[in-house]
Chain A
Amino acid sequence: MSEHDASRREFLVRAAVGAGAVAGAGLVPETHAQTREQDRKAKSETNAPAGVLNYIDLALAGAYADLQDFYRRGLAQLDAYCRKTYNEPFVRLSATRQDEVITALDEGKAGGFTWPTAQEFFNTIRTHTMEGMFADPIYGGNKDFAGWRLVGFPGAQAIFTPADMQSKQAFTRAPILSLQAQAQGPTRKE
């Protein structure tokens, strides 16, 4: 997206990486077999797994543009908290420490947050990460249906038959249905 100026681009990447790192830690199917360390390394590079980063990036540039400040302030407070507690920003912390930080956010125990509060910040990042995992791929996340495949959701099927409804087994009938075929979506070109 050429209209992204460098600093906004950096902010968005940082926001999404932060978000992915905070809430998506371990949520992502491709990394199922990897260790947490490899997982984190992959995430702090440019592309968040399953496209969560891409989703949040696009959302913050569009539908959630009014939350840019929320993210900016939230991430600044997060880093201030991590530096104060561990002398390092969040992304450089070890897996165990990151987990401690996330737990503190989740439970509202991380100090120094004013607006957004630690819990508001965590809840929003969590929600947006889930959206990136499970929204239709047309919004930039849920890459190759990674999220839907993970949980076994077949997308927007127009019909379920009585046999489908009576089954006690996993529903596996292909294809997974998405909006891609029906509309031209916000695809990214770097």
Chain B
Amino acid sequence: MASEKTDVVIVGVGAAGGILAAELGKAGMKVVGLERGPRLTTADFTPHDELRYFQRQELRPNVKRQPVTWRPNANARALPLPVLNYGNQAGGGTIHYGAVSWRFHEDDFRARSQTMERYGAAAIPEDSSLADWPLTYADLEPFYDRAEYELGVSGKAGNLQGRKIDGGNPFEAPRRREYPLPPLFVDQAGAIFEAAARKLGHHPFSTPRAIVSQPYRGRLGCTYCGFCQAFGCHIGAKSSILVTKLPEADASGNFKLLTGAMCYRVNSDNSGRATGVSYYGPDGEDNTIEAELVILAPFIYDNVRLLLLSKTARFPDGLANSSGQVGKHLMAHIGPRVFAAFDDRYVNIYMGPSAQRHSLDDFNADNFDHSSLGFIRGAQISVSPADLEAGPIGAAVSMNPPPGIPRWGGAYRDFLAKYFARYAGLTAQTENLPYADQTIDLDPNVRDAWGLPAPRLTYDWRRPNELKRVEFMVRQLEELGRTMGATHVWRSPPGQGAPGAHHEGGTRMGSDPKTSVVNRYGQSWDIPNLFIIGSSTYPSMSGFNPTLTIQALAYMSADAIVNRYKKNPGPLA
């Protein structure tokens, strides 16, 4: 049993934790990072191997060792999810993510007010806990800017300080300056999507991605090999934490990374102050770290689980949970899809960065009039390979054949042989509303490899507002597919209620300690020397992928800690 003392302990060194480690280290604070996985290097990511990384998910949390269970409602039995969408090594999810990197819209931060102003309070489903964020887009803009420039994001501005720019996303919130790197080269799927969307009067653009389109800060530009989603980048062109912030943290001389370190408890004293954390080391030994400041950044499941596992006499319902909100308002994207296949041309969708390539934002957020639609909030629409990953295993397991063709046998073989290199997938990534009864708690039946109860999700997106939105979006996708000139256009089967990618909520931020767990900086209302960072703090989720916003918030928290909290530890709000 080892014990050590430090200024700051950060649990989870991923998308968010890596930024905090570098920023606090550079400011002279002694930082220990606890990461349950290993620290790999760019050289470890060759050769690309679809079976190993996509199908067997080698870089992701292992569903047997680290299960997360799911049930559609409180009466059903929870079963382990088959795939987990976050990280499992230094750099976290940024190692193997698709690197799609958005700034949220202005109205994403005030979805409740926006809806009430435009459609009236009755438009919000009664059982939804939709809430405004305790900050505005303008508050976060400087930190989005830092994230884009320090990490390296490629894209084209659509709104420069209020001036709309052709070729970018005209619906984006105003940005102070251009992206640091020009957009990635457009592949054929993107080109056909672009033409069709323009024909329909939409506003398509190359999706902003944290993949450098040119050499940047000593890193090589993208080679368009296509192995992004589920893979580590073999040349470091993906702006993962491993090649961006960890070297900065190392260079600060104040950062120590402990790998193979599984945190299982946040320790606190009678006064309700956090005193540090306990963790299991690589050989299972039980260790503690004493710290002045405890920062949780292990993604939403362990943000919630660690609080629930760390209850005390003072906090009988979970640490920092006087509000009773810990574990509530779980959200997730779901991605209804349509496939388009072409008889008269090849698409070769396995070329180029694999995830959402070309996008349109016309049906996202409140960018379109919902008055007569019967639902609120929207979806981000894009063109992608079957599972945002472009190899043949991905196509075979994730793309249903068109109606009339079974999933096996000669007709299926002929279908795949003909269309694997001639199809494009269309996806809508929906902004599902928060509901208080969508929760994360501790599974009483399933334990992880460390003997800890697994996080259990209770969630079913199939609510009236969400079902109507999905149907509306699928129709847009079908229209796009037909306008692209596809010979065949068909839907993927509807989901069975399970959460899709990008999970949010569980420790929501707010401006009232009675109804939220943390303030805008991720600082616990109950325990000012405990910060909880990541998408668990989102009060609503946006149709955009979450990570750049997670990272902008991490920069904002780091800034507040370095410039204010450090001088005068106490509540920041």
Contacts and interface: CB of A to CB of B under 8 A. Distances in A.
Nearest to B345: A168
A9 interface: no
Contact of B406 (A103, A131, A153, A156): A103
A156 B224 contact: no
B409 A159 contact: no
Contacts of A28: 413
B453 interface: no
Interface in A120-178: 126-127, 130-131, 133-136, 139, 147-148, 150-154, 156-162, 164-171
A165 B410 contact: no
Interface residues of B, number: 42
Interface string B215-248: 0000000011111000000100000000000000
B348 interface: yes
A57 B420 CA distance: 27
B223 A160 contact: yes
Interface stretch (A19-27, A74-82, A84-92, A110-118): A19-27
Contact of A25 (B224, B391, B408): B408
A106 B352 contact: no
Interface string A20-48: 00111111110000001000000000000
Q: Secondary structure at chain B's binding surface: helix, strand, loop or mixed?
A: loop
B412 interface: yes
A134 B391 contact: yes
B225 A106 contact: no
Given A106-B407, A156-B48, A165 B351 contact: yes
B397 A127 contact: yes
A179 interface: yes
A53 interface: no
A15 interface: no
B409 A25 contact: yes
B407 A159 contact: no
B514 interface: no
Contact of A102 (B55, B391, B409): B409
A22 B412 CA distance: 13
A99 interface: yes
Task: Tell which of B396, B408, B416 has the most Cβ of chain A within 10 Å.
Answer: B408
B50 interface: yes
Interface string B376-419: 00000000000000011101110000000011111111001100
Contacts of B201: none
B229 to A, nearest CB: 15
B352 A26 contact: no
A63 interface: yes
Contacts of A165: 185-188, 224, 351-352
Contacts of A170: 346, 348, 421
A7 interface: no
B408 to A, nearest CB: 5
A182 interface: yes
A183 B47 CA distance: 10
Contact of B410 (A23, A25, A134, A161): A25
A102 B223 CA distance: 43
A129 to B, nearest CB: 8
B51 interface: yes
Given A135-B50, A165-B352, A167-B346, A153 B225 contact: no
B56 interface: yes
B166 interface: no
B414 to A, nearest CB: 9
A106 B408 contact: yes
B188 A168 contact: yes
A27 B352 contact: no
A162 B416 CA distance: 26
B111 to A, nearest CB: 37
Given A25-B408, A26-B410, A153-B391, A159 B223 contact: yes
B487 to A, nearest CB: 14
A136 B421 contact: no
A95 to B, nearest CB: 10
Contact of A164 (B351, B410, B421): B351
Contact of A153 (B409, B412, B420): B420
A45 B188 CA distance: 43
A134 B417 CA distance: 12
A164 B224 CA distance: 10
Contacts of A179: 47, 49
Pairs A-B, 3 closest by C-beta atoms: A26-B410, A151-B420, A135-B51
5 contacts: A127-B397, A150-B416, A152-B420, A165-B352, A168-B346
